[in-house]
Amino acid sequence: MNLPLIGVSTSVTVDKYPERAYINAAYLNAVQQAGGVPVPLPPQLGPAARAELLKRLDGVLLTGGGDVDPARFGEPPHPTTAEVSAARDGLEIELTGWAIEHHVPLLAVCRGLQVLNVALGGSLHQDIPSEPGSPLDHSQTVLQGKARNITTHQVKVREGSRLAGILGALEVDVNSFHHQAINRLGRELTDVAWAPDSIVEGVELGDGARFVVGVQWHPEELVGHDRAARNLFAALVERARAGERLRPALRAR
């Protein structure tokens, strides 16, 4: 059985010395548990290195992290905007466009879902507590004693959606670490999952021929005890293994 290569975006330090690219091990473990080989993609990669890696990747995983620059969707930054990296935004938006163009399966997690939406022309609520406002705490990091693998609210999933088929459930309990969220949906995206306060928690590309799925929670932290979370990474790896694109043709370019 072949082991598909899954490109995994990394976080990056902002205004700190020394500059670092890094990634939570949970993402790497989740991809490997599903049968894939994670390949970290730091924004420091130059054009030649990026191009060489893209010839070999079978799937893409966009990870969580700092805020997407509001300038990307035509707004000034909210006072709570933090950890913005122009280099990371640029790489991940480029990756998103490349994956969609070449029918490379893509799974977007938390910030990744937001990047996917912005890359397709959508916009974000910059700070849920103040806009649009919600009684639900979407950032459990401020809750004492809440580990990253503890769930804090429920998500309802649209029946008949690709996401529902992958998860194997119409309701899932999720963890939550974000203050930005989808506002205006990007082109071709369909919202298919919601928190109790109607914040969008899941999207997929309307074109069923391409595997493009995004979730607002962090399934990589739940794979140890949650089948629905494992199913997400298994679906990405299985679709990558199926080989949606002609890799030899790209290598020849």
Summarised one tens digit per residue, pLDDT across range 110-151 is 999 999 999 999 999 999 999 898 988 898 865 545 588 999
User: Above 70 in pLDDT, residue 248?
Assistant: no
Question: What pLDDT, on a 0 to 100 scale, did the predictor assign at position 253?
Answer: 44
Closest CA to 111 of 152, 149, 146, 82: 82
For 16-49, how does the pLDDT look when each residue is reduced to its tens digit (9 = 90+)? 899 999 999 999 999 999 999 999 999 999 999 9
For residues 186-202, average pLDDT: 97
pLDDT of residue 218: 97
Q: How far apart are CA 29 and CA 220, in angstroms?
A: 8
Q: What is the mean pLDDT of the chain?
A: 93
CATH of 5-251, one of 3.30.2310.20, 3.40.50.720, 3.40.50.880, 3.40.50.2020: 3.40.50.880
Contacts of 51 (CB under 8 A, 6+ apart): none
pLDDT average, residue stretch 187-198: 97
Q: Where are the alpha helices (DSSP H) in 158-210?
A: 162-167
Kindly name the residue from 92, 220, 238, 244 that is annotated as catalytic.
220
Question: Model confidence at 195, in pLDDT bands (50, 70, 90)?
Answer: very high
Catalytic status, residue 218:
yes
What's the pLDDT at 1? 65
Which of 153, 178, 179, 218 is catalytic? The answer is 218
Give how far the C-alpha of residue 154 lies from the chain's centroid of Cα atoms, to the nearest Å. 19
Contact 167, 191 (CB under 8 A): no
**Is 220 noted as a catalytic residue in this protein?**
yes
Per-residue confidence (pLDDT) for residue 199, from 0 to 100: 97
Any long-range contacts for 195-198 (C-beta under 8 Å, 24+ apart)? 195/136, 195/138, 195/153, 195/154, 195/155, 196/136, 196/153, 196/154, 197/134, 197/135, 197/136
Residue 244 has pLDDT above 90, yes or no: no
Q: Note whether 107 and 233 are within 8 A (CB).
A: yes
Tokens (6 digits) for 187: 């082109």
110 is catalytic: yes
**Amino acid of residue 132:** P
pLDDT of amino acid 147? 81
Instruction: Please say if the pLDDT value at position 251 is more than 90.
Output: no
189 or 144, which is more confident? 189
- The predicted model gives 78-94 an average pLDDT of 96
Mean pLDDT computed over 67-79: 97
